[in-house]
Structure 1
Amino acid sequence: MDLFDWPAISIEENATIRDALTVLDQQAMQIVLVVSEERCLLGTVTDGDIRRGLLRGETLDSSIKLVANATPTVGLDSETEMVWHQHMKRRSLRHLPILNDRKQVVGLYYRKTQVTPRRQNPVVLMLGGLGMRLRPLTETIPKPMLPVGNQPILETIVKHIADQGFTEFYFCINYLGDKIRQYFGDGEKWGIHITYIEESKPMGTAGALSLLPELPGLPLIVMNGDLLTKIDFRSLLDFHAEHQNCVTTCVREYSHQVPYGVIEMEGPYINQLVEKPVYRYFVNAGIYCLSPEVLSSIPQDSFYDMPTLVDALIEEDRKTGGFPLTEYWMDIGHIPDYEQAQADYEVYFK
């Protein structure tokens, strides 16, 4: 157990959900403390709190107080470390804010190390795209192998997933796939096992799943290979199981401001005029969790996109869920995205 320099993970009560996400991403402590000007603890926030708030309709610009846990378990600086440990053990906590007798924060007690359990769920990475929007960078290098920081995009992805206990990977390759195979081999260097699925033709984001050598016995993760993200895949699997979904699609909040006053009319009459409104949506983040039985809905050896699969399952009235991403996420689809990823790497992946 250790005490953490708590001001680095604290925000004030007038902060937004977006502010909390910045702290969660940059500090990687999985908790944010909401404090008053007098340093009194007003609540705690985790990514799970934020996800539940987004599903209720809150936005990234909503007040942090709308999602914070206002009655967290705490320890007192007058207690011994053994008592703090008991508080955490009884409630299966990783963090425990420590307060003085005036309810001011004086520290954060936390488990510094913990054993990462091995996950048997397969991880399928879609790596066969042509990367046309990133030409000329991708004329001789497949997009997942473009360097970001000091290593290829794909290596950053693999390390992040492997660190969460996943070891069984499927690489779906096509365009310049030999370069991926030569670099990663069987995956032993990263403590994983890689099976390669070669597409003889473009098969879309779901079609390649029909080429899996066997039906998995557990839900599988499917992810596009041009994403940089700090997503917690274990939370995704837990969410998928909790809601009994057949497919869970990761979603990201996207906002768009209309640069004009929007007029709502009924016949010749104006009902409302809204000046420069901001519309918010959830957009597809290119990461999915699929239950094994869903694979039987994918046509064999044919082009088939994941959105088509999701639409078909919705038509069949099967449970399809949306998992709001609260962690860092970047879709490297265009040159400006690639340049931004280079700048972000030092902040989020070092």
Structure 2
Amino acid sequence: MKKWQNVLIRPDLPLEDAIAVLDKGGLRIALIVQGNDKLVGTLTDGDIRRALLKHIPLTAPVRDVMCDAPHVADVDWSKDKILAVMEDLELLQIPLLDSEGRVVGLETLHGLMERRTVENPVFLMAGGFGTRLKPLTNECPKPLLKVGDKPILELILESLAKAGFYRFFISTHYLPEMIREYFGDGSQWGVNIKYVHEEKPLGTGGALGLLPKDEIDRPLIMMNGDLLTTVNYRGLLDFHLAHDSVATMCVREYKHKVPYGVVQTDGTFIQSMEEKPVQKCFINAGIYVVAPELVQSVGAGQRIDMPSLLEKQISLDQRVAMFPVHEYWLDIGKMDDFRKAQEEVGLL
């Protein structure tokens, strides 16, 4: 129950500030209170992601997107009763209230069950040439380039290990021996690492065909080996399972300011004009959750990129979900990104 005081916020707080509180608090929930800490609502990752999907501006007050009728527990309830209620309602957190409706604590399913490990496998893609980062990658694979004092791939692995994941597969192609020598079997990080090698580039989706199919027994988290992010991996996995999808793609909102006035027309006549509008869209964030049956469908040696693989599933009427990432995220694709990573490594 410690740290719950750090996630108390007011209903009029802008959503962008609430996101900062949510990320810093690390409890995956913020408690909206007014007056003498009386609970009026809750804000979770799911609430924020639904707001982002609707393009609700981050300047909007929390009250516009919060859950105003959350499930709560009485402070006098036993932990067994709280756990039973949380499991029955499929809750990850539940606020504890006193007889006057004031917040006096917060219980989490993770804390009550003391889960230490996650059995889902993780697949890290580390075979790229890093062409846009030459000459740094002439004799070093991009995932081993250091951000701060650690390689990019080590930062990724550590963040996943901290979240409880321990079953890792790493795909290699360019300078594979350097990656294998650095990470070994993963025991230094308290995890288990196995490697698959692409004799020729197979694309992000094609690399799935090299995995030992009998070991992919539950949804697989798949991630490019050149990303820095503080995304909530457990939250991502829970989201995927809740939406019963063959795959889930993490997406990032991208804003582009058109440097000209945009004219909307109906044939010859102008309907409206907008000066230098900001256009919004979602971009692929390079992180996926893939169902075992989709992994099984990719043959060894088949070349296909993940977007094409997912488009094929959509054409077959399979469900592919998207998970908006509001946390820190940086794709280290070119030199400017690499320099930015050096400046922002302290945010991880």
Would you call these one fold, judging by a TM-score over 0.5?
Answer: yes
What is the aligned partner in structure 1 of residue 49 from structure 2?
Answer: 51
Counterpart of 1:13, as a letter, is: P
Secondary structure in 2 matching 1:22? helix
TM-score by length of 1: 0.85
Q: What is the distance in 2 between the residues matched to 1:221 and 1:43? A: 32
- Structure 2 length as normaliser, TM-score? 0.86
Q: What amino acid maps onto 1:291 in structure 2?
A: A
Residue 211 of structure 1 corresponds to 210
Contact 2:4 2:106 in 1 (8 A): no
Q: Against the structure 1 CA distance between its residues 297 and 209, is the aligned structure 2 distance closer, same or farther, given a 3 Å change threshold?
A: same
Closer/same/farther in 2, CA of residues 243 and 98 from structure 1, 3 Å limit: closer
The residue type paired with residue 151 of structure 2 is P
**Residue 148 in 1 paired to residue 147 in 2?**
yes
Residues 90 and 190 (structure 1 numbering): CA distance in 2 closer, same or farther, change over 3 Å?
A: same
Deviates more, 1:27-36 or 1:285-294: 27-36
Q: 1:309 to 1:150 in 2, by over 3 A?
A: same
Alignment of 1:69-80 (within 5 A): 69-72=67-70
- Where does 1:223-262 land on structure 2 (aligned, <5 Å)? 223-262=223-262
3-state SS, counterpart of residue 222 of structure 2: strand
1:14 positional shift = 3.6
Partner of 2:135: 136
Query: What is the one-letter code of the residue matched to 1:233?
Result: Y
Structure 1 distance, partners of 2:31, 2:168, is 36
What stretches of structure 1 of length at least 5 have no aligned partner? none
Counterpart of 2:29 in structure 1 is 31
Q: Secondary structure at the match of 2:201?
A: coil
Residue 36 of structure 1: CA displacement?
A: 5.2
Please tell me whether the aligned partners of residues 263 and 270 of structure 2 are also in contact (alpha carbons under 8 angstroms). Answer: yes
Match of 1:294 in 2: 294
Deviations 1:176-213 (A, max 9, x none): 22111111100111121111111111111111111112
What RMSD in Å do the two structures reach over aligned CA positions? 2.8
Task: Describe the SS at the equivalent of 1:309.
Answer: helix
Partner of 2:89: none
Residues 252-297 of structure 1: CA distance to partner in whole angstroms, max 9, x if unpaired? Answer: 1112222222111122210011222222111111111111222344
**Does residue 180 of structure 2 align to residue 181 of structure 1?**
yes
Kept in 2, the 8 Å contact 1:297–1:309? The answer is: no
For residues 288-333 of structure 1, the C-alpha deviation after alignment (integer angstroms, 9 at most, x for no partner) is 1111222344353143110110111111121111112232222111
In structure 2, C-alpha distance between the alignment counterparts of 1:82 and 1:339, rounded to whole Å? 53
Q: CA deviation at 1:73?
A: 5.1
Q: 1:142–1:176: 8 Å Cα contact kept in structure 2?
A: yes
Identical positions, percent: 41
Counterpart CA distance in 2 for 1:267 and 1:120 is 58
**Cα-to-partner distance string for 1:31-72 (whole Å, 9 max, x where unaligned):** 223355886654321112212333445354444222212234
1:161 and 2:180 aligned: no
Deviation at 1:225, TM superposition (A): 0.6
Name the SS for the 1:252 alignment partner. strand
Question: Structure 2: how far apart are the matches of 1:99 and 1:137?
Answer: 59
Residue 265 of structure 1 is matched in structure 2 by 265
